[in-house]
A and B are shown apart, each in its own frame.
Chain A
Amino acid sequence: MKPPTDLMTDLYKFTDSDPHNLQDPDAAHLVIHHNQVLGMHAVPGLSVNVKELADGVDVKVVLDDGAVIRKPVHLCFGMYPETGVQRIIMDVAIGKNAVIALMAHCIFPFAVDVQHLMDANIRIGDGARYSYFERHVHSPKGGVKVYPKAIVEVGKKAYFKTEFELIKGRVGLIDLDYETSCDAAGVVDMTARISGRADDVIKIRETAHLKGEYARGVLTSKIAVRENARAEVYNKLTATAAFARGHVDCKEIVQDNGVATATPIVEVRHPKAHVTHEAAIGSVDSKQLETLMSRGLSEDAAVELIINGLLS
């Protein structure tokens, strides 16, 4: 087994991030390999406590009221072995009027039979801003099963944005389940971008409850399924207060024998609330395809470019 610092550097190489982030004293980071903390650094106003479990870690993150973390916090969760289970329990409390952005990478470069379970409970205080970007890097074998689950409470005038991206390597199985509730004048913005191929399976359930007046929410899913991949997307947006506004947007591209379903559910329980939805599933647009092919791209290269654009 390599020393933790070497492992940490090796793991971080799989991200597109600058490895110097891990040496920046002004940038917080947390790097976990299976159930082992390889590196951790906090900054003033932010406290991170990690308890190592038999099959993962229990992480508690607290951001003080009014604390503004100027540089993105880097999180890296991963496993080198071909088999195993990594369970991440996250409890995040963001103080009132605090600001933080997190860049998370989940890395399973050699997985043959790996399960990655994320169970998060996130509370965002009134007036706070919390952005979370999560990028997965998987092996080309598709041997990863990912179960990210989160329950999020967004306070008054608070802002919650999450982006989930899995467009490199094979998906394997992903079963994403996020549920958020949003108080008055709060904002929820959730996006998932996933590209599946071979026999990958993609399941997305994103729910946002706009409970307070003037709460706003957008749920966006952009999915591509090729070869024999399958995708099921359930996006639900409810609005129960005056002037709550929301939109559900699902776009899925289907190639080869891929199968995609989209079920946007919108529910309005106040006459002054307004929620819309849009779902489009289909093959690559023929005019887009022919435009690129008329510039000399092969059909495969043109499809790749179009899908990469959609998922970007």
Chain B
Amino acid sequence: MGILEVKDLVLAFNGKPILDNLNIDFWEGHIHAVVGPNGAGKSTLAATIMGLSGYTDIGGDILFAGESIKGLSLDRRAQMGITLAWQEPARFEGLTIRNFIRASAQDKSAENLKVVLREVGLEPEEYLNRAVDKTLSGGERKKVELASILAMKPKIAFLDEPDSGIDIESIERIFEAVKILKSGGTTVILITHSLAVLNQAEHAFLICSGKIVDKGPVEKIRKYFENKCIPCGHKNVPVQEIGGPV
């Protein structure tokens, strides 16, 4: 039994199914990847499990540690230990990085705030008093958001496209931070269509048209990337098994 179980999840917008009787289990303490083409439903799955506004009118169920969280509010789910890092993090005019991270931190000490910033490759002296606003690049905001999640020490962290906007030099630091999360007991779920991110995971799920169409070790799912994934309206199997790319 996984720490997070999604059972027959259905979500539709304007009558169009985005998540279509989707079933998935995430194992505690592992790094998972949910991969698939654009529009497959990856980010929608994370938003639905998190309980974001507009993603709560669902069919099926979501179980966290065996208990349904379907009717719980976003903040209640977060207080239970589920969190999400956005693909495009929010900007906060005037809110300092110090106060942003401290708001979610279990350990609110000044020293801990410095530790988590360094873990994502940001120098505390340079960043703690800056605002989480437009003066930060997209990549810097991604790092600040990841630092806030490190400080939160959640049980489950969805990281939506954790490498987007991150420069080549910093990407390894981000991957190190993912490992730090795991070593602290967090179940990490990477939402991605990047092979480099997929390679950080231990298990992967392939999603297409709102369904999980394959799952297993990363080596197995990687084949879809290497051969360009065929959307599941067709045949969702590794390309070489159906005779090469189309």
Contacts and interface: CB of A to CB of B under 8 A. Distances in A.
Interface of A: 222, 251, 285-288, 290-299, 301-302, 305-306, 308-312
Tell me which of A293, A294, A302 has the highest count of chain B C-beta atoms within 10 A of its own C-beta: A294
A209 B75 CA distance: 48
B93 A299 contact: no
B50 A294 contact: yes
B75 A305 contact: no
A310 B52 CA distance: 24
Contacts of A292: 103-104
A311 B99 CA distance: 14
9 contacts: A285-B90, A294-B50, A294-B75, A296-B75, A298-B75, A299-B75, A306-B95, A309-B96, A310-B93
Contacts of B86: 287, 291
Interface string B57-87: 0000000000000000111001100011010
B92 A295 contact: no
A286 B95 CA distance: 16
Nearest to A296: B78
B95 A293 contact: no
A310 B95 CA distance: 7
Interface of B: 50, 52-53, 73-75, 78-79, 83-84, 86, 89-96, 99, 103-104, 131, 145, 148-149, 152
Contacts of A251: 93
A107 to B, nearest CB: 25
A310 B94 contact: yes
Contacts of A287: 86, 90
Nearest to B80: A296
Contact of A295 (B53, B78, B96): B78
Contacts, number: 72
B69 to A, nearest CB: 13
Contacts of A312: 94-96
Contact of B103 (A222, A297, A299, A310): A297
B6 to A, nearest CB: 18
B234 to A, nearest CB: 35
B90 A309 contact: no
B79 A309 contact: no
Tell me which of B86, B89, B92, B104 has the highest count of chain A C-beta atoms within 10 A of its own C-beta: B92
A165 to B, nearest CB: 13
A294 B84 CA distance: 6
B52 A290 contact: yes
A293 B94 contact: no
Nearest to B131: A309
Contacts of A293: 73-75, 78
B73 to A, nearest CB: 8
Nearest to A292: B103
Nearest to A295: B104
B96 to A, nearest CB: 8
B89 A291 contact: yes
B92 A311 contact: no
Contacts of B89: 291
Given A251-B93, A309-B94, A297 B75 contact: yes
Nearest to A222: B94
Nearest to B89: A291
Given A290-B52, A297-B103, 19 more contacts: A251-B93, A287-B86, A290-B74, A291-B145, A293-B74, A294-B84, A295-B83, A295-B148, A297-B75, A305-B99, A305-B103, A306-B92, A306-B95, A308-B95, A309-B92, A309-B94, A310-B94, A310-B95, A312-B95
A117 to B, nearest CB: 30
B144 to A, nearest CB: 11
Nearest to B105: A295
Tell me which of B79, B84, B94, B99 has the highest count of chain A C-beta atoms within 10 A of its own C-beta: B94
A305 B95 contact: yes
Contacts of A286: 53
B103 A295 contact: yes
Nearest to B102: A305
A295 to B, nearest CB: 3
A296 B92 contact: no
Contact of B93 (A297, A301, A302, A309): A309
B74 A294 contact: yes
A146 B63 CA distance: 55
Contacts of A309: 92-96, 99, 131
Nearest to B54: A286
Nearest to A298: B75
Contacts of B104: 292, 295-297
Contact of B152 (A290, A296, A305): A296
